[in-house]
């Protein structure tokens, strides 16, 4: 650990002790002792996860995140070893990962995350920080530590990866789901507890802003997608008013009780989808203000999504159909078999997926698949059906 980082960590330890945060103080004291004893920084692991208060986040990302470097790509031709002119390979703590263009500018995870944390320094808000790292990627979760409902807390996620594409991405920029299906009018069989009757309506979807969070009761991680607007790709096949059940429009009115609030949030997303490289104090203060406004404004829509799921009845057959449709029969069967809570509501079905993603997923790809499936399910409260 560099001398400047050692000094920063020592200041942090004193700050943590002054406010009675013994957990943070003990963690960084142990880290400091390990560095001093070895006289050099110990080898970092390629996978880890740590939760700290906002004031300790800068020290954490500086001291714990693995470092990357670019190395030449070598190949053998006609018995000679040569260096590739157009490619480099990303090396993280001695392990090789993706090859990238030789024009790729490497940004360390710590550098990327500090650009986000810096404008939030001194923010008057109870923000918890979760930092995770895995291979050549890392995530920074900024969680508002105020209960939404059912012990759920939610916030935003920042991602950084050395993949040659983009150095950093923010979950508080909007994205969109390219497909969705609408629930048709309820039938007697559905009222009796059979699987929902679903039909594809048109080639479209919804645009959303994604929050991340966790449920304290079971420590399940989760994604919550707040829908912002309907997306129609083919107007000719769009459903007409009064035809069927226009579930996306209905869902939007259930999530957003005030259209002005939704429009304000959409404006904030368009203007402030990035808070990277803010050099001026005025710009940082603006970013801080907008972050707080977004974080607070999205709490109620997220709460309403969860309330909708709690009020939507389900049963084991619906759960099995949902898991198999989203996840495939093998993984769906495992999720169903290991669920620890009743699945008599859509909220229970959602929590079964997030429980498996958090505590039982075999790898990162499977975890992401489960989190994305559960997030889409929480919006539509029904499995997707492919158009024939």
3-state helix, strand, coil in the chain (%, to 5): 45, 25, 30
* Cα–Cα distance measured from residue 41 to residue 63, given in angstroms and rounded to the nearest whole number: 9
* Cα–Cα distance measured from residue 272 to residue 266, given in angstroms and rounded to the nearest whole number: 10
Convert the pLDDT of each residue in 298-350 to its tens digit.
898 899 999 999 999 999 999 999 999 889 999 999 999 999 999 999 999 99
Q: What is the pLDDT of residue 254?
A: 79
- Single pTM value for the model: 0.74
* Cα–Cα distance measured from residue 12 to residue 15, given in angstroms and rounded to the nearest whole number: 5
DSSP SS3 for 64: helix
Q: What is the pLDDT of residue 9?
A: 72
Q: At what angle do helices 316-327 and 329-338 cross, to 10 degrees?
A: 140
Q: What is the pLDDT of residue 186?
A: 37
Convert the pLDDT of each residue in 285-305 to its tens digit.
666 777 787 888 889 889 999
DSSP SS3 for 256: coil
Convert the pLDDT of each residue in 227-253 to its tens digit.
877 655 454 544 443 333 345 667 777
- Structure-block tokens of residue 206: 């919804």
Q: Reply yes or no on whether the pLDDT at 184 is more than 70.
A: no
CA distances from 300 to 109, 152, 262, 374, 387 (A): 32, 12, 11, 19, 33
DSSP SS3 for 349: helix
Backbone angles phi, psi at 184, to 5 degrees: -80, 180
Sheet of 95-101, strands arranged across:
68-77, 80-92, 95-101
DSSP SS3 for 250: helix
Tally of CB atoms within 10 A around 344: 15
DSSP SS3 for 68: strand
* Cα–Cα distance measured from residue 300 to residue 316, given in angstroms and rounded to the nearest whole number: 29
């Amino acid at each position: 650990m560099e001398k400047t980082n050692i000094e920063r960590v020592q200041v942090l330890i004193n700050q943590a002790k002054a406010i009675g945060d013994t957990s943070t103080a003990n963690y960084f004291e142990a880290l400091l002792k390990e560095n001093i004893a070895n006289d050099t920084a110990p080898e970092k692991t390629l996978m880890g996860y740590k939760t700290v208060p906002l004031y300790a986040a800068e020290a954490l990302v500086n001291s714990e995140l693995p470092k990357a470097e670019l190395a030449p790509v070598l190949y053998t031709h006609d018995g000679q070893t040569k260096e590739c002119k157009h490619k480099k390979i990303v090396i993280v703590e001695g392990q090789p990962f993706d090859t990238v263009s030789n024009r790729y500018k490497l940004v360390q995870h710590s550098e990327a995350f500090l650009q986000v944390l810096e404008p939030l320094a001194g923010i008057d808000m109870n923000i918890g920080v979760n930092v995770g790292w895995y291979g050549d990627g890392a995530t920074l979760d900024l969680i508002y530590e105020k209960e939404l409902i059912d012990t759920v807390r939610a916030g935003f996620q920042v991602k950084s990866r050395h993949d040659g594409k983009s150095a950093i991405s923010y979950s508080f920029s909007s994205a969109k789901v390219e497909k969705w299906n609408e629930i048709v009018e309820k039938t007697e069989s559905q009222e009796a507890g059979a699987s929902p009757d679903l039909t594809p309506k048109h080639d479209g979807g919804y645009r959303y802003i994604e929050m991340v969070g966790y449920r304290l009761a079971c420590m399940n991680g989760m994604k919550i997608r707040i829908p912002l607007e309907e997306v129609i790709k083919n107007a000719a096949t769009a459903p007409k008013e009064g035809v069927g059940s226009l579930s996306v429009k209905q869902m939007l009115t259930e999530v957003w009780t005030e259209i002005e609030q939704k429009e304000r949030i959409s404006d904030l997303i368009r203007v402030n989808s990035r808070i990277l490289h803010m050099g001026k104090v005025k710009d940082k203060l603006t970013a801080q203000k907008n972050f707080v406004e977004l974080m607070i404004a999205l709490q109620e829509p997220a709460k309403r999504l969860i309330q909708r799921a709690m009020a939507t009845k389900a049963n084991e057959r619906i759960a099995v159909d949902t898991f198999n449709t989203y996840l495939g029969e093998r993984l769906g069967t495992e999720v169903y078999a290991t669920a620890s809570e009743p699945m008599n509501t859509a909220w229970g079905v959602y929590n079964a997926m997030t429980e498996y993603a958090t505590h039982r997923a075999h790898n990162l790809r499977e975890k992401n698949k489960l989190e994305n499936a559960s997030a889409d399910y929480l919006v539509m409260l029904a499995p997707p059906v492919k158009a024939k």
